[in-house]
Structure 1
Amino acid sequence: MKRLIEHHGKEDWRSKSYDKFQENILDESSPFPCYFAVEAEKKGLARYIFIDSPYDNHELDRLRNGLYQYIGNYRSIGKRTTLVTFFKPSSHNLQAEDYKNQFWHVLQYLADHDPVSWPSDIPQNPEDPKWEFCFAGEPIFVVARAPFYSARKSRYTPYALEITMQPRGTLDDITGDTKKGQQVRRVIRERLKQYDLIPPHPDIGDYGTEQTREWMQYVLPDTNEESVVRCPFTRKKGD
């Protein structure tokens, strides 16, 4: 495997996770909705880190350090670069809530152990439409994929939790208030309709608009009748 943030030997679960990810993203017979992810994989702009446990502090410190390194260097990698974190599959039979809890625990740990203060121009209250997850002073677009998804195929991964992080700086030329950005969103949402077995979730929206909450889109429910009603994330400790 290549382009890894950190690598301690080619373990079987790592190989399987990455191979399935690449197969999914590059499948031309069923094009993945987010063509930025496809572009990043094709052009070698993606970076990867493998974590043994979403609850082990040593492992989460590895993730923190890898993410900090990535944020410091991402602009030199390429415009549409992205960081994908793969977690080791559990030996237990996990349910949807287990994966959701894993995700929010990881995000909270990263925020609480961020070596840089929360950006002054980003609200710390998740209920503010301008809020988004930040680390190392950088706003980040976050997407979770997990094995519990069925109808929402674009969020499905067969083995374990997977978190993709894309710094906002990689998307600053296609914001929702630009013609190019609006076109990009139309294309991606149309591809989502073709890819998933259900329509796009009603909580999906454009960052910053009054009715949109960024955190509601991180770990989407597998049905459109559900919504995340309370944000599990709390403000960074010490800020």
Structure 2
Amino acid sequence: MASSERIFVQAIRRYCARHGIAVDVRAGGWLIAMHLGEERRFAFGYDIGLNSAIAHRLANDKSATAEALALADVACIPHHLFLNPKLGSNVVGPAWRDDMLKQLHDHPQGVVVKPNEGTSGRSVFKVTMEAELDHAIGEVFAMSTGLVISPYVAIEDEVRVVLLGDVPLVVYSKQRGTDWRHNLDAGAKPVLLEHSEVRTACARLATNAARAIGITFASIDVVCVDGDWRVLEINSGVMMEALAKLHPELVQATYDAALDRVFGEAS
């Protein structure tokens, strides 16, 4: 097993070795084929193959997730979608920049600009003035067909819940360092939550969010703002690279449970 492989790939290799499942790792580990008898199952990126296509697409689209959660009356942070003007005026419309400026003016405390799709806090900007907005727009649209604008809120705590069905397998808070973001790639540290009111509240909210978009295996980020918990985003791919450095057995057990579901469905 190559030590440079992602934890996700290593976990799948371990599971398959224990269960007599052949593994074929391609594309530098981003595509994994698993063979059991006549059945072939795939993992792609950090997606283990349990979610429907529509649930996967909703989760990967921050604006669509927010809209679906609002329809289900699940508390969430709004994400307003703006398409890249390079797509053409017939698609984007002429007033896209004015609409962005209205978002900024409506939220004097600032807004957050980020790609509509993507993870790990890349190309995420806190904006409080028009010049910063123009910079953020240019950076995000240089690498994305769409961006979202959210009101900046003072996040008191952020918790990630890894769900399999209605079962919260992992619940941990993200303790940020000097950065204003709670992303693990930005230096935040995962701290497991034991049985508590906070853990129960976050797990309940995450479960409601997962049901709202019909997703089976996901990591769901919830944030506390003014004492209330809201969904920030849903991730169809379950990435636990940072957590595995501290709790490798828990991470392996979580992927094992998901793979049990995968091959249970295959049998």
Structure (1 or 2) with the greater helix fraction: 2
TM-score w.r.t. structure 2 length?
Answer: 0.26
Structure (1 or 2) with the greater strand fraction: 2
Q: Higher Cα Rg: structure 1 or 2?
A: 2
TM-score w.r.t. structure 1 length?
Answer: 0.28
